[in-house]
A and B are shown apart, each in its own frame.
Chain A
Amino acid sequence: MAGGIRDWTIHRFGLQPIYDRLLNRRVPRAPWYSGDGSAMLALLGIQVMTGAVLAMTYSPAADSAFQSVVYITQEQTLGWFVRGLHYWSAGAVIVMVTFHLFRQILFAGYKSPREGTWMVGVVLFFCVLFLGYSGYLLRWDERSIHGIRVMLHMLVRVPLIGESLVTFAQGGRDLGPQTLTRLYALHVLIVPLFMFSLVGFHLYLAVIRGTITRAEQNQPVHSAEEQKRLYEEEKSSPTGGEWFFPSTIMKTGTMATVVVAATLLLTVTLGPQELYPEANLTDGSMPSEEWWFWWLSGLIAFLPPSIAPWFIVSLPVVVFTLLMALPFLDRSPVRGVRKRPIWAAIVILLVVIILLLTDYRRRSTFAGWPELHPPPVPEGMALPEDAERGRQLFATYGCNSCHAVAGHGRKVAVDLASLQGQLSRDKIREYILQPPVGIAMPGYEGRLDESELVALTEFCHVAQTFPLR
């Protein structure tokens, strides 16, 4: 009886061909790390589920969007968990998709007959980045509004149609309700729909064209025909091949489970991303992008001014074009990481650069900011009256908006304590009045009276001898 129902279900719902062609097939033995794709599929499922729940409460209208996110986070049952999971799985997808992309470059997974799989993957990569960006704009807090303005400022640099692109993107002459609503449509409807069809396509191609195998990495492969022969040989051999179900799925499933578990752990320990004040164009704010874009921000700060503005606009176009063209640029028959040390070096270099830039942005030592408190006097040190007055003036005149003293304050300009007493009083005085040309410091000629100038000079002079921390 039970068997009868089972057979009926399999037949009437057409499950047999799916089982035969998808699960019950021989494939070349997969390494453990090939589970990055399964991990992304699992995360995508989480994104859809949590996103659907969020969309049921979220209000895509500028007047109420922020309050609805506050409600989800603070009032809705388990809302903090759903929002947190949506946030952390978004971060995890970005990490995994980068890992996946670099892995394919490392092993030459884009070579024949998998150029199509690769190109669809590149488009998916950019979809993921766009979702990872548009997601945090919907929170409609200060971080969102300034994130939107950065995008608009990139668009306006597009030659000829820049300004029209901006009015199109923000939905009018000003940032307003339409800006949020169109971002909402893109984030929850247009891009996900497009992406879903592409994910299906990508998986279909991965099934019919396979993924890069060990045999392909061990010897040069000159043509799609040769690849096919190797692939068939390998998957049928008892040592080189395995059953997709359960062997491959076991391995990829393990990795997916680990990644999802890590995401859950981050969600319950750190919770959803902090909400900043509601979107406004009036208050002072120190916005930052989400951590997965810190490297890009660090790069903008790092580049010389002569190329930075153009570089940032053309970077996505250049990267997209290069990635799409990669299978046609790299036509050598060699695959795998061992025989392609240059590619390994490139990938390692890129990863190191991304990590360094991320840290650079995290520290943000390049940004000045008004600092109202004067630098503290080192313990056990008493300042003469003049220097003490100078210490107060150091804050009054915004010196410590850029200069740290013994590690206290902003670190844009030189830390006075690091000068180690090199500068004479005259030199300091001259510097304050009229800094050398090309130094990003305002001259104070005409702003200070003589007694203030003396006091400030005294403080700078003694600050040089403060012990460095």
Chain B
Amino acid sequence: MIDRRNWLAALFALGGAAIAGVVGMAAMLSALSPAWRHPRGERWRSAGDTAGFALGKIEPVVVRVGRNDWSRSLDEKTVYVYRRSDDQFVVYSRNCTDLSCPLVFDAGSECFFCPCHGAIFGKEGQPMAGPPKRPLYRYASRVREGVLEIDLDSLPPMT
């Protein structure tokens, strides 16, 4: 037997839950939306004329990200271009594969050094020392009309 008091209590509980659900769901969906609003596609960006890269050398290149939002901050990033042969280019991300610290390339020893936990990578991107086991991230790259292009979306979002 449902009396008036229980019935009212149930009504308030249901009503409250409905409001909380609507507000909560909307808030949550809105807050989480960046997670699915930006699927990986292809974003080709110029890394410079191929003529500018010396054979067998690794050089830092600043690439324009072109984010298309309301801020100009962090719109450039450094990548490393390695010209292995006349028509073979390898483009490394500057991220250490351990925890993303910014690698520096030492032209003398032809090694990449990580400032954080002592990782060292060789010219071919192979890990030589420190925590990481994974070789350096490589961007997808192509040459179009004498310009080296890289696909920013070919690597995970934090690289």
Residues of chain A whose beta carbon lies under 8 Å from any beta carbon of chain B:
61-63, 145-146, 149-150, 152-156, 163-168, 170-178, 279-288, 297, 300-301, 303, 305-306, 308-309, 312, 364, 366-370, 395-399, 401-402, 412, 440-442, 447
Contacts and interface: CB of A to CB of B under 8 A. Distances in A.
Contacts of A368: 106, 111, 113, 118, 120, 129
Contacts of A173: 38, 40, 67, 152-153, 157
| The 4 A-B residue pairs with the shortest CB-CB distance in the complex, in nearest-first order | A398-B108, A398-B109, A366-B118, A440-B129
A163 B72 CA distance: 24
Given A154-B99, A305-B131, A172 B38 contact: yes
B49 interface: no
Interface residues of B, number: 54
A389 to B, nearest CB: 15
B41 to A, nearest CB: 9
B95 A149 contact: yes
Contacts of B74: 62, 145, 174-176, 279-281
Interface stretch (B16-24, B29-37, B82-90, B139-147): B29-37
Interface of B is mostly: loop
A370 B67 CA distance: 32
Given A164-B36, A167-B35, A305 B130 contact: yes
Interface in B92-140: 94-95, 98-102, 104, 106-111, 113-118, 120, 122-123, 127-133
A282 B133 CA distance: 25
Contacts of A283: 78
Contacts of A166: 156-158
29 contacts: A62-B71, A63-B71, A146-B101, A156-B156, A164-B35, A168-B34, A177-B73, A178-B34, A280-B76, A281-B77, A282-B76, A285-B115, A287-B102, A300-B116, A308-B131, A309-B98, A367-B113, A367-B115, A368-B106, A368-B111, A368-B120, A369-B113, A370-B106, A370-B108, A395-B108, A398-B106, A398-B110, A401-B106, A402-B109
